[in-house]
Amino acid sequence: MSALLDLSPGLALFAAAACFLAGAVRGFAGFGLSAIAMAMLATFVAPIELIPVFWFLEMSASLILMRGGWADADRPAALMLVLGATMGLPIGLGLSLTLDATLSKTVALLLVIGLALMQLSRLRLPVLATRPGTVASGFSAGIVTGLAGVGGMLIALYTLARDLPARRMRGTLNIYLLGSGIIGLGIHLVIGTMTPEAATRGLALILPTLAGVFAGKALFTPRWERWYRPACLVLLIVLAISGLLRLALTA
């Protein structure tokens, strides 16, 4: 595993554990895979190197969870979100490529914290529920994905603005992640961020990620569903703040 990831043995084990935890959160809460992994790994690996790795993890999880989410999703809205993300992703990746490594890590962690706080406070922006707002949400999510790999969290704010039921929200998120991921692969290849090293890391981390997804699905209990999201968001904020502190101490 260490050789495949081109990381020290300790960091390779930590990366696998981070992906397992991120997969578990995605399995029972329906979001947060890339956000949890980014919060845990960004201080060790530059975000621009992690984002194409997360492509493999998100696609794998979306394919596993798609069967249960397709019927529940708002498919027309999901397609508009994908269209917006297609336009925004190249901009986000371009910005990431120009940022200093430390600044890039800081921006990624701050985005994670900011989006988590917005969700935790249940911030509702009615404008997002309109058709232009849907495309704008996708566009913004594409930029955020290119900067920190956490566009799904911004789409979650969109679903919150529309007051979608939990199942409908998870289904819409799943289609967004799958559709934007398919198109995103082409964008990564054109820009050059999908390197052989990123592909190798992504393929190697699929197994612990999917193990987490299945564990999360097995742990899902409907009567506790309303507590899953706030608990995961608090965990996400704590992890990201820990990452920022680590960056400050090593600066």
Kindly report, residue by residue over 71-88, the tens digit of the pLDDT: 677 888 888 999 999 999
Confidence (pLDDT) at 225: 67
Confidence (pLDDT) at 90: 96
Number of helices followed by number of strands (H, E) in the chain: 11, 0
Please write the tens of the pLDDT for every residue from 223-250.
766 777 788 888 889 999 999 998 888 7
Confidence (pLDDT) at 16: 94
Confidence (pLDDT) at 4: 58
Q: Taking a C-beta distance cutoff of 8 angstroms, is the pair 102, 247 a contact?
A: yes
The total of other beta-carbon atoms located within 10 Å of residue 227's CB is: 11
Give the residue ranges of the chain where pLDDT is below 70: 1-5, 66-71, 164, 166, 222, 224-225, 251
Confidence (pLDDT) at 161: 76
Q: Taking a C-beta distance cutoff of 8 angstroms, is the pair 64, 23 a contact?
A: no
Confidence (pLDDT) at 107: 92
